[in-house]
Chains A and B, each alone.
Chain A
Amino acid sequence: MSIWSWLKLTAALWLLRKMIKGIGWLLVAAVAVTAWPLTIVAGIGYLAAWLRGWPPVRLWRAAAWSLPMTAVYEIGEGLRLRAWPAVALAPVTDYGHAWQLLAAHSMLRAGLLVAPVAVPAGLGIGGLLWAWRIYAITTGLAGLTASAPIEFDTRQWRRQVRTARGRAAAPGTVPLLTRTGHVVIGATIRAVRHPWRPILTVPYRSFGRHAVIIGSSGSGKTNLMMRLWAGWYAAAHAAYLRREGNRPLLVVLDCKGGPDARVKAERTRRLLHGVGARRVAIWPDDARLNLWDLPPRDLGVLLLQMIETGDGAAAYYTDVMQAVVNLAMAAPGGPPPNAASFLDRLDVEWLETAYGDGLHGAAISRIRAAKSHIGDIQLRYATLLGRLGPALDGPGTLAGADAWYCILEGTREASVAEAQAMALTELVAHAATTAGGERRAILLAADDYSAVSRRVPISNLYERGRSLGLGVQVSAQSWQGLGRDEDERYRIAATADGGIWLMSTPYPEPVVQLAGTRRVLESAHKLIGATWGKEGTTRTQHAWTADPDLIRTLDVGQACYIRRGGATFVQVARPKPSPLSLPAARSPSVIVPPPAPPPDDEPPPPGPGSGPGSLDDVLGPEASA
């Protein structure tokens, strides 16, 4: 074959290919024009999905919700025509009429005439086209440039976020609780290997398992946690009212403390009042708990854990201390009712008197053996209990309130906060296991857990909680803050079958590993010079289910919920109880401060007597000034 013949053949083949392609496009255009009602609806649906970052399923659901319209149309045709074949052909007949109306330049009437059938069908087709477009772009089969998949993903994420923010701002879209008792978190931005729903909800029952929340300071973690607490409380309270569950008890350990904690506590209190909680106690500011209610054996173990002890040679002193504490706890006459009584018992004379009835020879021998250490032990416990203050020595019990917000000064006094955290978690475990008492549905939330994570064995509580119906939530500002060492961190995160919430954090890799990977298609194209050729390969690759780079760049209030190998990105809605939950007496929503007393009401100088305090006492010196 000569070069000229080869060139002619190549040109002919090129022309043939272009002609086939052109005819194909012409056919598509002809079909699109012929089926113009479907084309218009599918185009609108496709455009809306593209602009708002909807997944295809959103269009298919819209199509399904349009079907009642089609049903009404068919019923109307049935009543009008009263012949089944004619009813079945009614859409075709109306389609013919629509062409006539088009010819008569009555386009709106033509469109409305065929809309009852065209809307669901067009939305379904639009969804299919949009699904194909996503597939083609993400696998590299379509797009004008090599970076098209990345640009497409970035653009769609931006649109998904915008749409989710709008949805999260609508009060009725994001209540604290759905009608079916699921806890609403916020508007879904994107779902990966989770079914897509416009609103992310978490089943109330999953709160009985353990959850982990990780997010840097300022990432919106407090809002998320408050939403989880209020939602859980509302769901548990509703279940209790339906006699389908136990009365809820929420215990929050704010392990960082400080003035911010007080503000958070007050906000949490208001929120919980709005969802049905009656007594919300803030510890230690306005309520106390009684550590000495614990069973003597548990209390003895706890008291020993609360004191920092050493290993090696120091273990000897630990053993001595344990023996003395056990003697003090198990003394005849019952365990100590308060800290002062316990300290009184850490005395050789007291112990010898208590056990000196001639029946406790072994105990007397132990007291004599530990005689030289008992004074030191008393000193250590006097120091510890003095630092803990009276907040664990009060008359209160966990059962006395619906929710406890416990503020531990973990930043200011880490060792005290650690001891308090140990005591409080033990009280919670005791409340969950107390036989005979009222069974409660308990959620224990440890906020900013890193402040007390050095010595508090909360991973043990996790494992105990599973059998006690006790839900545990742990939050930390980073992966490193979750536990003492890598083993403990993995133990906490890997048992979080209630889900892991990741907010913006610089090191999400260990957690996203727990979510695993998903298989994706990746196409490589052959480059001819600087242009994309038509040849290439496609292969299966593994990509993170929860993309760590995306998590690093999450904005305030955005979270990634990882559970069962899937991830849902969500715009967390600000927690607000229904305004209708509030008592009727609240109706004047803005409380006007009472007016100042008029001048003629100036109080007289204080008079003598033991009756009510003088006006100065009541109103201050300025009242009589």
Chain B
Amino acid sequence: MNPFTVLGLPTDPDLTDEQVRAAWRTIAAATHPDRPDGGDVARYTAAATAYAQLRTAWGRSEAYADLATDQPHVPAPAASQPVPPGASIVRAVMLVPARIRHGRPWHLLLRALAAAVLSLVVVRLLPGQPSGPAMVTGLVIWFVLTGRGDLAPPPGR
């Protein structure tokens, strides 16, 4: 059983003592067997066990580690589980929206606007000229190279 869930907390080893204690007090007050309505002994017991486990930072670290070990994210060896070609690219593309959200979206938006406006100006001023697509290529390269800095780093980095 996930002790974090039992206390209604996110599975996060970096919770503070106060957050855990507050969650425990709320559940204990609502489910204690001394209540006039008899409380909820099963829930109270589970919460008490979870609180005993999560009351210290080390306990939370241990509980988190145990949960992570139960659901390992360690990939199998390459030989037994070959990664299809292009899978990493697909994964990287899928992560882009989250990276934008957690990065500097307004900076990125400004860059994108600047690149788009300049591209439009180029296309409008040089219709049918090879310099037009070349300049747009240059602007795209500029946007990709500088815009990377506005994204949040990918997971694990």
Interface residues of A in 237-258 (CB under 8 A from B): 237-238, 241, 243
Contacts of A69 in B (CB 8 A): 134-135, 137-138, 141
- B117 in the interface (beta carbon within 8 A): no
Q: How large is the interface on A (under 10, 10 to 19, 20 to 34, 35 or more residues)?
A: 35 or more
Shortest beta-carbon distance from A602 to chain B in Å:
9
Complex Cα gap A578–B59 (Å): 24
B112 within 8 A of A: no
List of A residues within 8 angstroms of B34 by Cβ: 603-607, 614-615
Cα A278 to Cα B77 with chains together (Å): 21
Compute how far the CA of A3 lies from the CA of B9 in the bound complex, rounded to whole angstroms.
101
> When A172-B150, A583-B12 are in contact, do A612 and B29 touch as well, CB less than 8 Å?
no
| Interface residue A515 (Cβ < 8 Å from any Cβ of B) | no
State how many angstroms separate the Cβ of B49 from the closest Cβ of chain A. 11
Docked-complex contact B58 and A278, CB < 8 angstroms: no
Shortest distance between the CB of A76 and any CB in chain B (Å): 3
List which A589-607 residues lie within 8 A (CB) of chain B: 591, 593-597, 601, 603-607
Instruction: Answer whether residue B89 sits at the interface, using C-beta atoms and an 8 A cutoff.
Output: no
Q: Could you tell me the dominant secondary structure of chain B's interface residues? A: helix
Report B4-58 residues with CB < 8 Å from chain A CB: 4, 8-15, 18-19, 22-26, 28-30, 32-36, 41, 44-45, 48, 56-58
Chain A: minimal CB distance from B54 (Å): 12
Q: Are the CB atoms of A604 and B36 closer together than 8 Å?
A: yes
Report the Cα distance A588→B15, complex, angstroms.
12
Contact B141 A72 (CB under 8 A): no
A contact residues around B125 at 8 Å (CB): 108-109, 112
Whether the Cβ atoms of A275 and B156 lie closer than 8 Å is yes
**Closest A residue, CB atoms, query B45:** A612
B26 near A173 with CB under 8 A, answer no
Q: What residues of chain A lie closer than 8 Å to B22, measured between beta carbons?
A: 593-594
Q: Which one of B28, B48, B69 lies within 8 Å of A619 (CB-CB)?
A: B28
B26 touches A594 (CB 8 A): yes
Task: Say whether A612 contacts B44, CB under 8 Å.
Answer: yes
Interface assignment of A280: CB less than 8 Å from any CB of chain B: yes
- A241 and B41 CA atoms in complex are apart in Å by 43
Q: How far is B143's CA from A11's CA once the two chains are assembled, in angstroms?
A: 59
Q: Judge whether B152 is part of the interface by a CB distance below 8 angstroms.
A: yes
Cβ-closest chain A residue relative to B122: A112
Partner of B64, one of A112, A179, A278, A577: A278
- Could you tell me if A578 and B157 are in contact, using CB atoms closer than 8 angstroms? yes
Q: Give the residues in chain B near A279, CB-CB below 8 Å.
A: 61-62, 65
CA A69 – CA B148 in complex, angstroms?
Answer: 20
Which of B23, B78, B138 contacts A243 (CB under 8 A)? Answer: B78
Chain B CB within 8 A of A473 CB = no
Contact yes or no, B25 A619, CB < 8 A: yes
Q: Are the C-beta atoms of A76 and B153 separated by less than 8 Å?
A: no
CB distance from A120 to the nearest CB of B (A): 9
**Does A94 reach chain B (CB closer than 8 Å)?**
yes
- A579→B145 contact, CB < 8 A: no
Contact yes or no, A581 B10, CB < 8 A: no
Sample 8 A-B pairs with CB under 8 A, ordered by A number.
A69-B135, A172-B149, A402-B65, A585-B4, A586-B11, A594-B8, A604-B36, A619-B29
Known A-B contacts: A112-B132, A173-B149, A612-B48. Give 5 more (CB < 8 A): A115-B138, A171-B149, A276-B156, A597-B26, A619-B29
6 nearest A-B residue pairs (beta carbon): A76-B130, A286-B58, A175-B153, A278-B65, A170-B149, A73-B134
